[in-house]
Structure 1
Amino acid sequence: MAIRKSTMQEQVAAAIAAIEPSDRPVVTFHTVTGPSPWLMSQLGLIGQLFVKYYFVTLTERVVVVHHASRMSNRPKELAFVIPLEQARGLVTQVDRGTLWSSLRFQFPGEEKPTRLNIGRYWRTELDQFVPALTGVSITA
């Protein structure tokens, strides 16, 4: 099971290299979908049925979204590959919180934006991702 952030990022980089060897990851973070993680934790196993885990990676050319394993924190199958030009306009409502931050991301084919919850452990990567993609800095 991958516990260290660097190990998870290496695994995601290897998964990206397998599909596009010439592209290089800029920043990767782990995220959980759904409403508040606090609410989902109160619902226990039932709450886990309503959330999905992803790795979101900004590369030099695209934004890559992999499903993440709930148990091992490893990247699984590819969910989306979005060109940078398209992805720049898909991020909205960035909220940088103390323990959990969130942003809305409009996945292709989805009716409405998906809330991505980012834990404090990955805040540095979120602080890099949003400005690198959108050109807008995050304020606390």
Structure 2
Amino acid sequence: MAIVKSTIQQQVADAIAAIEPNDRPVATIQTITGPSPWLTNGVLGLIGQLLVKYYFVTLTHRVVVIHRTSRISNRPQEVLYVIPLEQARVSISDVRRNPLWSSLRFQLPGEATPTRMNIHRIWRTEMDTFVNGLTGGAPGVPGQYPAPQLPGQAPYPQQQAPVPPQQGYPAPPQQPYPPQQQAYPAAPPQQAPGQYPPAPGANPYQS
């Protein structure tokens, strides 16, 4: 079982590289869905574990990728969602930074309401990068989150990373997305080898 954070991050990076070599992770966080882990782990015990799901949520230079997490090996399993950055930026809300268990809500494609994702403090630095990478500390985001920065580092939206031109990403679907979602331009018709596979419940990149 992978319990060292650097090992987990490398496993997720390898999983992403295997399906889309033209992209790379910016930040990965491990999340547990459902109510506060204080309740599910402490009060409800084994019953509480049946109510939650474990995900690896990764911000890349081009998308947000959500993997199912194996409860046995703690390794990334299948890709559940691949969400364009424009969609992910309006999907995050109610970010709460707490001493042990922080949380945020994320609107997953096809779900009626945002999903609460709980993040342990060992992933707090990655959570800061993830949230700042999507919101840039912009006002108006529900649960406004202060934009963390490393000394001398510009917020993520201003970074000029040498990212290869977007290739191999078919056009995202038009539904279901929040009303404020802007229309997305169609992706180039030519597909690059190793594109993200269709994700159950999301399929944002159609062949």
Whole-angstrom CA distance in 1 between matches of 2:74 and 2:129? 21
Whole-angstrom CA distance in 1 between matches of 2:8 and 2:63? 19
Whole-angstrom CA distance in 1 between matches of 2:88 and 2:55? 16
Structure 1 unaligned blocks of 5 or more = none
The match for 2:196 is none
How many positions carry a matched residue from both structures? 140
Kindly indicate whether residue 10 of structure 2 is the aligned counterpart of residue 28 of structure 1.
Answer: no
Task: Give the aligned residue type for 2:8.
Answer: M
Kindly indicate whether residue 74 of structure 2 is the aligned counterpart of residue 73 of structure 1.
Answer: yes
Q: Where do residues 31-110 of structure 1 align in structure 2 (5 Å cutoff)?
A: 31-41=31-41, 42-110=43-111
SS state at 2:86 partner: helix
Question: If each structure's helix is expressed as a fraction of its own residues, which one has the higher value?
Answer: 1
Farther off after superposition, 48-57 or 38-47: 38-47
Whole-angstrom CA distance in 2 between matches of 1:129 and 1:26? 8
Flag as ranges the 4+ runs of structure 1 deviating above 3 A: none
Q: Over residues 86-117 of structure 1, what are the superposed CA-to-partner deviations in whole Å (9 max), with x where a residue is unaligned? A: 11100000000010000000000000000000
Q: CA deviation at 1:135?
A: 1.0
The match for 1:10 is 10
Whole-angstrom CA distance in 2 between matches of 1:134 and 1:67? 24
Q: CA deviation at 1:7?
A: 0.3
Structure 2 unaligned blocks of 5 or more = 139-144, 147-207
Q: CA deviation at 1:134?
A: 1.2
Task: Give the aligned residue type for 1:28.
Answer: T
Q: Over residues 8-35 of structure 1, what are the superposed CA-to-partner deviations in whole Å (9 max), with x where a residue is unaligned? A: 0000001101110110100001000000
Whole-angstrom CA distance in 2 between matches of 1:43 and 1:106? 26
> Taking structure 1 as the reference length, what is the TM-score of the superposition?
0.97
SS state at 1:32 partner: strand
SS state at 1:125 partner: helix
The match for 2:19 is 19
